[in-house]
Structure 1
Amino acid sequence: MTRVSGRIVRPGTVIEGHVDVDGPTIAAVTAGPADSADFVLPGFVDLHCHGGGGHRFTTGDPDQARAAADFHLRHGTTTVLASLVSSPYALMRDATRAYVPLVSEGVLAGVHYEGPYLSHTRCGAQNPEFLRDPAPDELTELIDLSAGTLRMVTLAPELPGALAAVEQLTRSGVLAALGHTDATYEQTLAGVAAGATVGTHLFNGMRPPHHREPGPVIALLDSAPVLCELIADGIHLHPGMLRFAARAAGPDRSALVTDAMDAAGMPDGRYDLGGQGVEVTDRVARLTRDGSIAGSTLTMDAALRNAVGAGIPLEDAAAMAATTPARALGLRGQVGAIEAGLRADLVVLGPDLSVKRVMRRGAWI
């Protein structure tokens, strides 16, 4: 039995107490005086990550994927989706097959396709060469070969066939996310009505709000079933906009994500994203061809610190980093909170919210 003591962050509250761990499972959580001022949080759950530590999820290389997951694990991310970018069908197929064993092993929680069914107008750092309209046969083949590994697909609801694709994904148990979209308010609501339940990195890669055409941002914020991803790096979102969005949606509908690329944790320099050159300068990644922001160099621990720095209470930020995304993935009874019976995934943060220790499945990393 292992005991972890400190200020335990649970949904809606922070208590002084102890977490008892038996094997890979949380055995008990008890309140009481602790001899540590550290914070104990549930392991972070990142729904949107392309790589880190010099390694990529985007190429379909299992060794690269394992190393990227390990890099983020050291920053407290105990559950991660491997996000691809817009790619040819063959790469999507091969990467999905390659990641099935990693999902079975527990290294990854699944695969996320960010594209290729996205708007040319709002493609951002997505490679326009690979963008296309949703194809039912293509999706059927990918869903079937994934054997449950495919967990989320981001698409633009205004594209021909997109609403049917949302319905197809939903029937198959795959999260449909709306993003990289030039949709109107009404087109976005049609996507939600068809079954979409996630807004991919809210504000970024979307038609901006206007008082006479609210667009996708307002439609997603105002739709009760939708979880809104937020990139809290201080670059994608101003801290005031981050705080506003988190308050508007609430911690039960807001999820911190990294959208990290392989440059996370690495020096400034030249990198690649989906076959496009990226220049990283002072933490900011931009496409060399047009200066578009190209993912991030963020880690989840930094996202949490930035959220708290923006004025979001720690218990809400912890829910946004763990509880809410875990629920979206259907893992509420396994991870995402510090409760007896759940998997012992814990992050111990110092008083300054820097990572001190990470536990996954009851073992210290």
Structure 2
Amino acid sequence: MNEEIKNVTGFKDCLIYLEGEGIKKASLSIINGKITSVKQAPADALHFEEDLMIVPGFVNRHVHGANESDSMYPNAKDLKNIALTMASEGTTSFLATTMTQTIENIDLALENINDYIKARHPEGAEVLGVHLEGPFISKKHKGAQPETCIIPGDVEQFKKFQKISGNHIRQVTLAYEENGKKLVEYLVSKGIVASIGHSDATAADFREAANYGVTSLTHSYNAMRPIHHREVGALGAAMLDDRIYAEIIADLIHVSKEAIQILYRMKGKEKITLITDSLEASHMSDGVYQLGGQKVYVQGKEARLESRALAGSTLWMNNAVKNIIEVLEITLEEAVDMATINPARCLKIDDRKGSIAVGKDADFAIVDKDLKVHYTIRGGKIVYQKVK
């Protein structure tokens, strides 16, 4: 293949994971960044041998950073660096995820993300919007979030955040039991995903929250009340509620194989969404990094604070897909769905993202049998190509 090619007009006789059909030899056409046919391809379409498969580009709704950049750093070059790095994992769209900080620092991050989205940067993965993780969380389950900046649910403060973000906040992680009811009602009224996380919510709290429109659980198992036989908490309630999408960090550090298997048995293949929750240490060697002004120590694949609390992950999305196949013994298609159509449905963007079908964005990851990414294509343009 000509290494200078940047625009892609289609694929000819390739293994493609087509919506509703599975992986099969097929052709498709792309015009103006959209899939226009899954039956035929133009004369200049690309062809890949059968050692490569074309799957939908991954959708990651929980990304703090990567490659020494963080979504909280208020400049475009860091967001661009994250976007380029995400593309190397096969991710074509993601939510830039903030963290609990001072109001001023969150404002600066939101303003920067808004500017970046408005500038329509073509490089790397698309920034879909913001996942606001905190500051409306529980001090009891703060995880790696600084306690001094945590505040109760506050609709007026959220409105200020959303205005600064240019209405780009698409998901909010909050503790429902910390004055979260009115905030949940407001988020749902605006079509924003309300996700319970960093929370000490009881099962009753969670059921009430779900009835008010909560549809998601943030990094299931982590930073929440654990399941107890007399009080199963938000985690147990979410497992029993078919309306809820469950994020999972499938790095086998944040959660065990058995925990993933239990979640899968309870939620099924359509309600699990793979995330990375990656921080600036992702794609970097062992060493000392930052997370919200706190030192993070990375050794092997683990990232921890001085307190030994886990501080995000160094997981890559393509490796999350690979891990979930091995742990659950499921098909590639089922695992890919957890990184594509499931998060797209949760975010209500499945009309244009998450699967390969006519009318959808031409977002693809081209992977081999080991889930190594060879090309990433966003909107019909090559945004990542593996160095040979």
TM-score, normalized by the shorter chain, greater than 0.5: yes
Please tell me the root mean square deviation across aligned C-alpha atoms, in Å: 1.9
More displaced stretch, 201-210 vs 219-228: 219-228
Partner of 2:17 in structure 1?
9
Residues 34 and 270 of structure 1, relative CA distance in 2, 3 Å threshold? closer
The residue identity in structure 2 corresponding to 1:361 is G
Cα offset, 1:351, TM superposition: 1.8
SS in 1 for 2:139: coil
The answer to whether structure 1 residue 26 and structure 2 residue 35 are counterparts is: yes
Partner of 2:310 in structure 1?
293
Partner of 2:325 in structure 1?
308
Alignment TM-score, normalising by the size of structure 2: 0.89
Cα offset, 1:271, TM superposition: 0.7
How far apart, CA to CA, are the structure 2 residues paired with 1:357 and 1:329? Answer: 25
Partner of 1:58 in structure 2?
72
2:132 aligned to which of 104, 113, 135: 113
How far apart, CA to CA, are the structure 1 residues paired with 2:382 and 2:358? Answer: 18
Deviations 1:132-162 (A, max 9, x none): 1112221121223322211111011111x21
Contact 2:72 2:106 in 1 (8 A): no
Deviations 1:104-130 (A, max 9, x none): 316410011111111111111111121
How far apart, CA to CA, are the structure 2 residues paired with 1:279 and 1:126? Answer: 15
Partner of 1:164 in structure 2?
182
The answer to whether structure 1 residue 154 and structure 2 residue 168 are counterparts is: no
Deviations 1:319-362 (A, max 9, x none): 11011111222211111101011111000111222111111110
Give the 5 Å matches for 1:116-265: 116-159=135-178, 161-265=179-283
Partner of 1:95 in structure 2?
109
Contact 1:179 1:206 in 2 (8 A): yes
Partner of 1:38 in structure 2?
52
SS in 2 for 1:339: coil
How far apart, CA to CA, are the structure 2 residues paired with 1:165 and 1:350? Answer: 44
The residue identity in structure 1 corresponding to 2:37 is A
How far apart, CA to CA, are the structure 1 residues paired with 2:62 and 2:48? Answer: 35
How far apart, CA to CA, are the structure 1 residues paired with 2:72 and 2:13? Answer: 38
Alignment TM-score, normalising by the size of structure 1: 0.95
How far apart, CA to CA, are the structure 1 residues paired with 2:362 and 2:187? Answer: 31
How far apart, CA to CA, are the structure 1 residues paired with 2:18 and 2:275? Answer: 20
Cα offset, 1:240, TM superposition: 2.7
Instruction: Using the aligned pairs only, state the percent identity.
Output: 31
Cα offset, 1:263, TM superposition: 0.5
How far apart, CA to CA, are the structure 2 residues paired with 1:162 and 1:5? Answer: 52
SS in 1 for 2:214: coil
More displaced stretch, 261-270 vs 134-143: 134-143
Contact 2:62 2:275 in 1 (8 A): yes
Cα offset, 1:280, TM superposition: 0.2
Contact 1:270 1:280 in 2 (8 A): yes
Structure 2 unmatched ranges of 5 or more: 1-8, 41-46, 384-388
The residue identity in structure 2 corresponding to 1:308 is I
Residues 37 and 17 of structure 1, relative CA distance in 2, 3 Å threshold? farther
2:89 aligned to which of 66, 72, 75: 75
Residues 284 and 5 of structure 1, relative CA distance in 2, 3 Å threshold? farther
